[in-house]
Amino acid sequence: MSIPGITGGVVSDFDAAGHTTQAAAVLLAGMTLAGVSEASGASAVVYLATSTIAVPNLPPSHPFNEANVKWTEVAQSLRDLRNELDAAVNQRAAVDASWSGPGADAFCAYANNTLLPAIDKLAACADEAAQTCGAIRDTLDLGLIIYLATVAAGIVLCIIANYYNSIPLVGAFIAAMLKWIIVDAWIFSVLYTIYDMLNTLLALQQEQASMEEAMRQLATVFSTDGSKFDAAALELMRREVESVMQDPSGWNKS
């Protein structure tokens, strides 16, 4: 049994291309709004808001979706590993008469009281990491949807405002004022959306800090550096338990 890694594939060339594509789409949408609001003089404001606010703060969600999948796989692998160790230790002890004595009792106690609960906690940490990545993905997706929806609404309203140009004398002024109102409302919507996204991401960052603390508490059990767990160490533990299982008679000592 192997534990899938969480690196070497989460950030790929596809992610870089996706980032460039989404940035271009966000910029194009903003430029379209700038184009229909041009007669009012608001186009420069729209361009600045798009290039300096929207584009940098609306990255693609795909890397976080990949991370969500990877962490979910890790959590499931840890649960599978936990079940294998539980079966190797406890079911063997229940059916094999030679699996008895103080040594066997001590080993079973260590597995049940230390090793298996630690793996359970580590799986829970992986689940929480997956949920955090999923929440970030959803937040970024929602932010992009709201941005595109408000741009579309702004474009439609600016086109409607152009009809006021047909009014003699004051029509152009009315159309320009309406477009400024539309652009101001759009900028406020973009700023509020990004503000709301940042609040969500800050809350998720606090959850990440809690998860990192849990990982540090598990570091002594799994011989890690405290910031990530060592999948190879888990696999080595499983193999060591299997090697012990091959000669259970050695545990039948008083």
Q: Where are the domains of the chain?
A: 13-251
pLDDT tens per residue across span 78-121:
888 888 888 877 776 665 666 667 777 777 788 888 888 888 88
**Which are the contacts of 122, defined by CB distance < 8 A and separation ≥ 6?**
78, 215, 218, 222, 229
125-142: average pLDDT: 86
pLDDT(5) > 50:
no
Answer whether 133's CB lies under 8 Å from 73's CB: no
| pLDDT digits 0-9 by tens, 27-55 | 999 999 988 887 667 888 888 889 888 88
Q: Which alpha helices (H) appear in 87-170, and where do they start and end?
A: 92-95, 102-110, 116-161
The whole-number pLDDT of residue 222 equals: 58
CATH architecture of 13-251: Up-down Bundle (1.20)
pLDDT over 50 at 133, yes or no: yes
Report how far Cα 29 is from the mean position of its chain's Cα atoms: 26
Going by C-alpha positions, the residue among 3, 136, 11, 13 that lies closest to residue 71 is: 3
Phi then psi dihedrals of residue 226, to 5 deg: 95, -15
Band (pLDDT 50/70/90 cuts) for residue 136 is confident
Q: Which of 74-78, 111-115, 130-134 shows the lowest per-residue confidence on average (mean pLDDT)?
A: 111-115
| Separation between Cα atoms, residue 69 and residue 10, nearest integer Å | 9
pLDDT at 148: 92
Question: Does 128 have pLDDT greater than 50?
Answer: yes
What single DSSP character describes residue 247?
-
pLDDT above 60 for 248: no
Q: Is the CB of residue 174 less than 8 Å from the CB of residue 167? A: yes
Residue among 229, 220, 207 nearest 4 (CA): 229
Higher-scoring residue by pLDDT: 209, 35: 35
User: Which one has a higher pLDDT value, 106 or 66?
Assistant: 66
Rounded to an integer, what distance in angstroms lies between the CA atom of residue 66 and that of residue 8?
11
Output the pLDDT for position 84.
85
Calculate the average pLDDT of the chain.
76
Q: Roughly how many angstroms between the first and final C-alpha of the chain, as a whole number? A: 34
DSSP for 167-219, written as a single string? STTTHHHHHHHHHHHHHHHHHHHHHHHHHHHHHHHHHHHHHHHHHHHHHHHHH
